[in-house]
Structure 1
Amino acid sequence: MITTLRLLPDADGIARSAAILKDGGLVAFPTETVYGLGGAATIDSAVQGIYAAKRRPGHNPLIVHVPDLVAAEKLAVFDEQSRRLAHAFWPGPMTLVLPLRAGAGLSQHVTAGHSSVALRIPAHPVAQQLLRATGLPLAAPSANPSGRISPTTARHVLDGLSGRIAAVLDGGPCTVGVESTIIAPGTPARLLRPGGIPIEALELVLGHTPSRTADAARPLAPGQLASHYAPDAALRLNVTTPNAGEIWIGFGPCPGAALSLSASGDVTEAATCLFDILRQADALAGPAGHIAVAPVPLTGLGLAINDRLIRAAAPRG
């Protein structure tokens, strides 16, 4: 066990975090989606440390964060479609899975044996400052134990990883609240994980609806495992009438709900608070308890919300 520092996102906190990362240590930091567990993507021991701290399966690849498109093009091969997506949605909550550029210098553990790499340019100002201060691409999956509820505050990170990582850079609550949309460009493009960019926005840029294909046994990108984002309590979905003893999470008008993703039925608000509400419900239910969730529409960010809920409710291995 080590003492995990909680650092402020000021000049000193950024500098200390960058020094830890350049030395091969791990620092959790805020992005607009969720907190990421950062490690230098070029240092084998750092990347292996991410897998160890999260207890993450080795076949599940990591997203690499960079500050700009110039840095991204040093790591991956872009075509016309991928550049169009990058210009439309970066910086922001989109990850592109692209062919790994020869000589990119990334640890082989980042890609989990694939010939592609998942890249993102975060929009969060603290993430941007940290990436530029570090001067290295950062592998950064969500900063939580593997398979559990993702963190949207520094407190969430500490609840799951305190004693396992060097520091958390506390930039306050995340604004988007669900992980990035992951897309593999192609004909057609493939939506590997719904996320902070709605599919409707992708369709406008692509000119077609991306296909949805996944291989949970050998995922090409994070967030494709069948069971993920899970609370301790059992989860039941699309519930309009909860059973006795269930902690009911409402959406829209749900009289009697213990908690609500959005009383007004706003999917953007629901995405922002999803993981925090799941944590609150888990605490109310207890490990042997049960949680029920009201239906959430599949439009806009509702697709990402339902993806997370389905994985959270999936049978656990």
Structure 2
Amino acid sequence: MIDVPIVLAGYGPVGREYVELIRRHRARWRDTYGADLHVVAVRGRQSQVRVDGAVPSRGQWDPAGEFAELLAGARVLAQAVPSDGSDQPALDALQALQQGAHVVTATKSHLLTHWRKLDEAARRAGRSVRISGATGAAMPAGDLARSVLRGFDVRAVQGCPNGTATFVLDQIAAGHGLAGAVVDAQRQGIAEADPTADLSGKDAATKLRLITGLLWGWDPADVAVAAEPIREPLPPVPEGHRLRQVASAQREEPGLVRVELRAEPAASTFGALLGPEKAISYDCGEAGTVAVSGGRSSPRGAALAMVKDTLGAVLEATTGFH
């Protein structure tokens, strides 16, 4: 039996779902996988709490102390903090790796800025960094890029990794205005309060940048982005097609991710997506095209991806981002 004490950074919607999933399924996963996952501490922005069973209410938390002390004995650091550009997630992840813990993260910002440092630190420590929650929530696009397509001649990757964009474009096609489509997406819990990253193509580009890091070893910090935003008026769409926000990268065009609005046949992988669904397609040369679609875009979906990564990190003998 592998004992897996976990320190969780971030206790928002994703963090709470992660804790609840582990609480609910701990015994089953222990019996099925031989790994005993349990959260031993939770860290917020300015406070923290050690956990033995249920997470106490925030009023019972202590002021944040030395993170190294909180990490002592942890096998995994799970990160579910906002991608706000702060250096703290990177510093926390590097500290965890130095102390011998794997890192599982749904946070994107430090992956864009500290990819090389995180990879090097993880390899030195013989630990892994798992990022499924940052590349597609419950859709296992990152797993394909990281390991499933290992040995395949992957020449290009493209996809619709932003569910909000797909939903908004379909709503506009149904006769709604852009503003109304965004409000509807927010009302249904699909879009963030600030949808700028979704509409501009930034979020889709970020996910592709991370996937190219897993796939081809590109450093996301060095990847340029050419993005076409969603704005009115939208380009015309031929009959039998649906407009999609498609992010793409090619191995022979290193260091560049494109995001464009593209008319896709309604029966195609991207055209057939409904509402907030996502899809990624890999051109694998002689092996053909391999695609994955679906997966819930929600706090529960991201938390499930983190659980999958937590199990993978402790059960598989890999280091770094692979």
TM-score (norm 2): 0.25
TM-score (norm 1): 0.25
Larger radius of gyration: 2
Structure with greater helix percent? 2
Structure with greater strand percent? 2
